[in-house]
Amino acid sequence: FIKDLKKLNMSQEKELDMVDRDPNQLNAHVKVQFEDVLAEPDGAHSIDCVWRCSYMCFNCGKNCCYKLMTTLCGLFIALYWGCEFAFITFDQVWCITPSLRIFSIYMGCAQKFFGTCVTCFLAPICETCGLMFSRITVKNQ
């Protein structure tokens, strides 16, 4: 049973791209390379050895911390966001969309009702104003 479930699951999922993990450029703004974070302007350079060691320390610290945090928290955070988007989808499909449909139906009735009321109250006034102003004549001398 578990083998069949795994085969079914694998056939339903598309293949993950393990190299390009941001194909839609969602995090293109996140610049975390050494050159994006640290830079020395002309005229203010540290010793070459310090700059090279800083580069290695930066990358080591960034990579180790990121891997540690994703190992400890990544799965739980992914599970949380999966559940969150499942809730949003559920809410939209089963609550929001039917509510909007009901609102649209009632507003259609309200529009007809208020349109009729406006026609009943304003049509006589507009007709009277039209009759009054139709008697006005302008003569150029």
pLDDT per residue rounded down to tens, the chain (141 residues): 666 666 656 655 667 888 998 999 999 999 999 999 999 999 999 999 999 999 999 999 999 999 999 999 999 999 999 999 999 999 999 999 999 999 999 999 999 999 999 999 999 999 999 999 988 888 887
| Structure-token pair, residue 54 | 């800083």
Four-residue CA torsion sign, 18, 20, 26, 30: positive
| Structure-token pair, residue 14 | 């598309």
Q: What is the pLDDT of residue 13?
A: 61
Cα end-to-end span (Å), the chain: 102
Contact indicator for 14, 23 with CB cutoff of 8 Å: no
Q: What does R_g of the chain's alpha carbons equal in angstroms?
A: 34
C-alpha to C-alpha distances, 16 to 72, 94, 97, nearest whole angstrom: 22, 30, 32
